[in-house]
Amino acid sequence: MNSPDIGNTQEVQFCFALVNDSCPRNVRSVLSVCAMYVVMIGAIVMTMLGNLVVIISIAHFKQLHSPTNFLILSMATTDFLLSCVVMPFSMIRSIESCWYFGDLFCKVHSCCDIMLCTTSIFHLCFISVDRYYAVCDPLHYVTKITIPVIEVFLFISWSIPIFFALGLVFSELNVIGAEDFVAAIDCTGGCQIVVNQDWVLIDFLLFFIPTLVMIILYSKIFLVAKQQAIKIEHTGGKAESSSESYKARVAKRERKAAKTLGITVVAFLISWLPYTIDTLVDAFMGFVTPAYIYEICCWGAYYNSAVNPLIYALFYPWFRKAIKVIVSGEVLKDSSSTISLFSE
């Protein structure tokens, strides 16, 4: 993490005025503070409500109980927890440039932040594996992507980030080689988890390897989807049996799902690449990145958790119908769990 950016301030203020070793506090105008709170609270509310709707929809409606949706449900839970446990405290730290919640909670907060953010990319990686079999090997999809397989995916998606986050935050091995910088920023009211070159490389690999898998699989998915579209177009004028017509509809739906999840991956990369590059460069360049650059990259990454439900709302008719059922209160009826959400 980066040290507070305290340059160019006419008057130095401190997080704790009566504490000798208090961290300096950035002085901002009332207008800029209000604008920052509006933007960040908006991100928190969007993330919280959007992912809560996804969670309720998939958990409640039986028609949505599928392997893919269970992965999406777990990812939505990750993003929802991020909006509740991490983002509100990060907002105060970003705007006030001070940490008012104690050293222990600083470590807990940082651990949850790293763990939940790393978990998201693992979910997206396994969703790409699921979509690959659904589109490229549909005949064996049901036998290969079963509930026990999904449980393995979920175990890996949560366990590796948990061990990585705990090791990074609580082992103190992450500060080896950066002791001078840690001593320079050590003050009351700060919450910076310094990541040395070894740990930042591990962090980069946890980002790069799943991302590379996603890019390779989605390249194959879109190639196969294009071939399927050409085949359906060529046979469109011929008489089709009901079985062939059903297969065509299923293939079309799977391609649309793959396209939607592909957009989700692109949105993830746009959100997370700046943050990943910033932390990587910072560790090897002596932590020279200004604090405001880090905060912009950090909140750009947070906003990704608010984007996913918007993507579902734009591309999934079933999600829009689920929202109507939930908002109208019909979800409280006993029979609502069996409502048909698909048009076909």
Confidence of residue 330 (pLDDT cuts 50, 70, 90): confident
Q: With 80 as the cut, is the pLDDT of residue 261 above it?
A: no
- Per residue in 118-141, is it b (16+ CB within 10 Å) or e — as a string? bbbbbbbbbbbbbbbbbbbeeeeb
Instruction: Please give the pLDDT value at position 256.
Output: 65
- In a domain, residue 336? The reply is no
Task: State which residues form the domain around 248.
Answer: 13-235+243-331
Which residues face 24 on adjacent strands? 14
> Which pLDDT belongs to residue 105?
92
Residue 109 within a domain: yes
Residues sharing a CB contact under 8 Å with residue 168, sequence separation 6 or more, in sequence order: 111, 114, 174, 193, 195, 199, 203
Residue 342 located in a structural domain:
no
Domain count, the chain: 1
- pLDDT averaged over the chain? 83
The confidence band for 238, taking pLDDT boundaries of 50, 70 and 90, is low
Residue 8: its pLDDT value, please?
A: 45
Distance of alpha carbon 185 from alpha carbon 22, whole angstroms = 10
Answer whether residue 4 is part of any domain: no
Mean pLDDT score, 101-130: 90
Q: Is 123 among the domain residues?
A: yes
Q: What CATH number does residue 202 fall under?
A: 1.20.1070.10
Q: What is the per-residue pLDDT across 119-133, written as a single tens digit (0 to 9) for each?
A: 988 998 898 899 888
Asked if the structure places residue 260 within a domain, the reply is yes
Question: For residue 162, what pLDDT is reported?
Answer: 94
